[in-house]
Structure 1
Amino acid sequence: MERQKTLVLVGPTAVGKTELSIRLAEELQAEIISADSMQVYRGMDIGTAKPTLAERQRVPHHLLDVVDPDESFNVADYVALAAEVLARLRADRTTPLLTGGTGLYIDALLDGFLFPDAPADPSIRQELEEQGAKDPASLYAQLQEVDPVSAARLHPHDLRRIIRALEVYRRTGEAISALQQKREQQQSPYDPLYIGLTRDRQELYARINLRVDLMLEQGLVEEVADLLAQYPQQPTALQALGYKEIASYLRGELSLEEAVELLKRDTRRYAKRQLSWFTRNKRIHWFNRTNGDDQELFQTILELWESFLLERQ
Structure 2
Amino acid sequence: MALKNYSSFPLLEEYLNYLTVIKGRSQNTVIEYRTDVLMFFSFLKEQHNIDGDRYDLAFVDSEFIRSITLNDMYAFISYCQNQKKATAGTRARKIVSIRQFWKYLKTKAKVIDNNVSEELETPKIPKRMPKHLTLEESIRLLIECENNPRDHCIITMFLNCALRLSELTSINIEQVSAESLRIIGKGNKERAIFLTPATKKAISDWLAVRESVSTSALFITKTGKRMTGRAVQDVVKKYLAKAGLDIKTLSTHKLRHTAATLMYQYGKVDIRALQQILGHDSIATTQIYTHVSGEQLERAVNSNPLAGMFGV
TM-score tier (shorter): under 0.3
- Between structure 1 and structure 2, the one with the greater Rg is 2
Query: What is the TM-score normalised by the length of structure 2?
Result: 0.24
Name the structure, 1 or 2, with higher relative contact order (CA <8 Å, separation 6+): 1
Name whichever structure is richer in strand by fraction: 1
